[in-house]
């Protein structure tokens, strides 16, 4: 009997290398720092690590501006450090997922530098999107960068190049066979070095259509495409339907070709997960059809309110839609591009939601620091480094708050992360949130995660579908409870501000906050809390 692929229901731990651990005292995390703390990661109970970019880069966008995708930036170490990290992870039965950035290169990449020198009509410029401006000298169209400002920058000879993000990130032209060939070379390079999979940045954005046509609402478009939880989702979704550079059909031909490449590594189970925020939600299932990619992120959970109807709809829809293509969903509450879940919905609520989703079928993604219950960092504007902050003149604060380094130990900042000044400041208010402190507290968020993730491995992986017990309109008239059974476990979440009595039999396995009590033959679930019970 063939065993299930390792990634089907894995727990993947996302590491932002610059913020994990500084091994050489320069204020920035690095690959040797990650290697030195793989035991911590393993003991958390995860199956794999996802490394945000560590490639050669001028670092104008947190490493997502890649100047050489087949080498390591000196700030993080070198290729030997990458090899050792992969080998040490594998010795601990941890898979390694690398972040690949196919939508754009850095303007410092040799291709773009060659394009600047080669001039109009050259094969070097054909690797990007270079166009002449309009007759009045304005850019080819009115598209606006997702980081604010125009999506076109003019070069010395008068032509413009397209960049959907920062001007230091020129978009690649995926109609050019050279681009396809180069990225296949990059994929093989890292697979041959030992990586087990890829997270694909802006996976929905590679193919552009109607490049010379204006968009009817460019300012609304720019605002709509941010991972902004305060934004009106209906407006964002309406605009996502009209963009000429996201979720075009041509991307699927690219991923079918990549899938053939991945499958050519017999016995390796190489996987890929797409960062693809698309609308309507069923469009996301196209990325995980049997001959394409393996997973696609469920971004709706990153913005869902802590409210039973909203969470039920997001979770149930993800399970139902993925089933139509014989795939399983992904569950992520935070990442490097979004507010930390503890800041977004509250610390108790974040613990409750984590325990609830850890029981669901599919893969769970945990952003480093989430297991500690870290909120967003407290930053002055003078600390910020996100290009969107500068391109919008400070109107958009950017994503730096989620990227503040981890607090490891000690009584004062920077809490053992570095012996120097950290690249982003770590608040003294995190004193009780260090790894050292939480390891000593059996009621800490870290202990909850360790317990829950090991229970997930033992009791949930491979145990099939869920059966809803309580959900809006199904056994919960007050809309304060969500619960399901899966295998031999019942999972319940009380979203209300007061304790709730429930008819649940079984032994308590875990509770996210407070204490579960018995009363009149019933279980009493604390406010803003989730619990697991065995049958």
Catalytic positions, written as ranges = 201, 275
What is the CB neighbour count within 10 angstroms for residue 110?
A: 11
**Residue entry with tokens 């795939």:** 327
Query: How far is residue 468's CA from residue 161's CA, in Å, rounded to a whole number?
Result: 51
Query: How far is residue 16's CA from residue 51's CA, in Å, rounded to a whole number?
Result: 6
Describe the crossing of helices 177-193 and 250-263 by its angle, rounded to 10 degrees. 30
Alpha carbons within 13 A on the beta-carbon side of 220: 15
- Going by C-alpha positions, the residue among 319, 313, 372, 384 that lies closest to residue 343 is 372
**What are 21's two structure tokens?**
């651990």
Helix and strand totals (H; E) in the chain: 15, 22
Q: Are 270 and 313 in contact (CB under 8 A)?
A: no
- Going by C-alpha positions, the residue among 29, 91, 109, 95 that lies closest to residue 62 is 29
Q: Are 535 and 505 in contact (CB under 8 A)?
A: yes
Q: How far is CA 195 from the centre of its chain?
A: 18
State the alpha helices, DSSP H only, in 174-307.
177-193, 218-224, 233-240, 250-263, 300-303
Q: C-alpha angle 198/104/269, rounded to 5°? A: 15
Query: How far is residue 187's CA from residue 170's CA, in Å, rounded to a whole number?
Result: 20
**Residue entry with tokens 């604060």:** 397
Q: Are 55 and 69 in contact (CB under 8 A)?
A: yes
CA-to-CA dists, residue 249 to 21, 102, 155, 451, angstroms? 41, 16, 31, 43
- Going by C-alpha positions, the residue among 19, 108, 33 that lies closest to residue 405 is 19
The answer for residues whose C-beta is within 8 angstroms of residue 85's C-beta and 6 or more apart is 31, 32, 34, 35, 38, 96
């Amino acid at each position: 009997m063939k065993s299930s692929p390792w990634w089907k229901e894995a727990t993947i731990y996302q590491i932002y290398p610059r913020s994990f651990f500084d091994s050489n005292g320069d204020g920035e995390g690095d690959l040797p720092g990650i290697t030195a703390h793989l035991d911590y990661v393993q003991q958390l109970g995860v199956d794999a690590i996802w490394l945000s970019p560590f490639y050669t880069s001028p670092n104008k966008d947190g490493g997502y501006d890649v100047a050489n995708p087949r080498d390591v930036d000196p700030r993080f170490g070198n290729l030997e450090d990458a090899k050792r990290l992969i080998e040490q992870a594998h010795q601990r039965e941890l898979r390694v997922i690398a972040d690949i950035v196919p939508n754009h290169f850095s303007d410092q990449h040799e291709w773009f530098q060659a394009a600047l020198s080669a001039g109009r009509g050259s094969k070097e410029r054909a690797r990007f999107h270079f166009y002449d401006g309009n007759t009045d000298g304005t850019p080819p169209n009115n598209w606006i960068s997702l980081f604010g400002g125009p999506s076109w920058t003019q070069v010395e000879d008068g032509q413009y190049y397209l960049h959907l993000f920062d001007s230091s990130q020129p978009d690649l032209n995926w109609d050019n066979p050279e681009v396809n060939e180069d990225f296949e070379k990059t994929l093989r390079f890292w697979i041959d070095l030992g990586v087990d999979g890829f997270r694909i940045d802006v996976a929905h954005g590679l193919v552009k259509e109607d490049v010379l046509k204006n968009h009817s609402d460019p300012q609304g478009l720019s605002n709509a495409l941010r991972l902004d939880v305060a934004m009106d989702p209906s407006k964002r979704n309406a605009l996502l339907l009209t963009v000429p550079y996201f979720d075009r059909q041509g991307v699927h031909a690219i991923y079918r070709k990549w899938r053939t490449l991945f499958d050519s590594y017999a016995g390796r189970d190489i996987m890929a997960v797409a960062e693809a925020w698309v609308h309507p939600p069923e469009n996301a299932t196209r990325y995980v059809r049997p001959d394409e990619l393996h997973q696609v992120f469920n971004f709706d959970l990153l913005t869902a309110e802590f409210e039973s109807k909203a969470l039920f709809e997001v979770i149930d829809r993800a399970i139902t839609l993925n089933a139509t293509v014989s795939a399983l969903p992904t569950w992520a509450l935070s990442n490097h591009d979004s507010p930390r879940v503890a800041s977004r919905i509250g610390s108790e609520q974040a613990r409750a939601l984590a325990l609830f989703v850890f029981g669901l079928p599919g893969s769970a993604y945990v952003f480093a620091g989430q297991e500690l219950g870290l909120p967003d960092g407290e930053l002055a504007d003078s600390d910020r480094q996100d290009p969107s902050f500068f391109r919008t003149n400070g109107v958009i604060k950017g994503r730096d708050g989620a990227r503040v380094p981890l607090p490891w130990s000690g009584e004062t900042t920077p809490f053992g992360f570095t012996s120097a000044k950290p690249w982003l400041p770590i608040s003294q208010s995190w004193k009780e949130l260090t790894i050292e402190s939480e390891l000593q507290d059996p009621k800490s968020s870290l202990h909850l995660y360790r317990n829950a993730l090991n229970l997930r491995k033992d009791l949930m992986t491979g145990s099939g579908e869920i059966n809803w017990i309580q959900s809006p309109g199904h056994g919960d008239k007050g809309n304060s409870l969500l619960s399901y059974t899966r295998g031999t476990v019942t999972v319940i979440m009380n979203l209300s501000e007061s304790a709730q009595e429930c008819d649940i039999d079984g032994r308590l396995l875990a509770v996210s906050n407070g204490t579960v009590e018995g009363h009149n033959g019933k279980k009493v679930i604390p406010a803003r809390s989730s619990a697991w019970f065995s049958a």
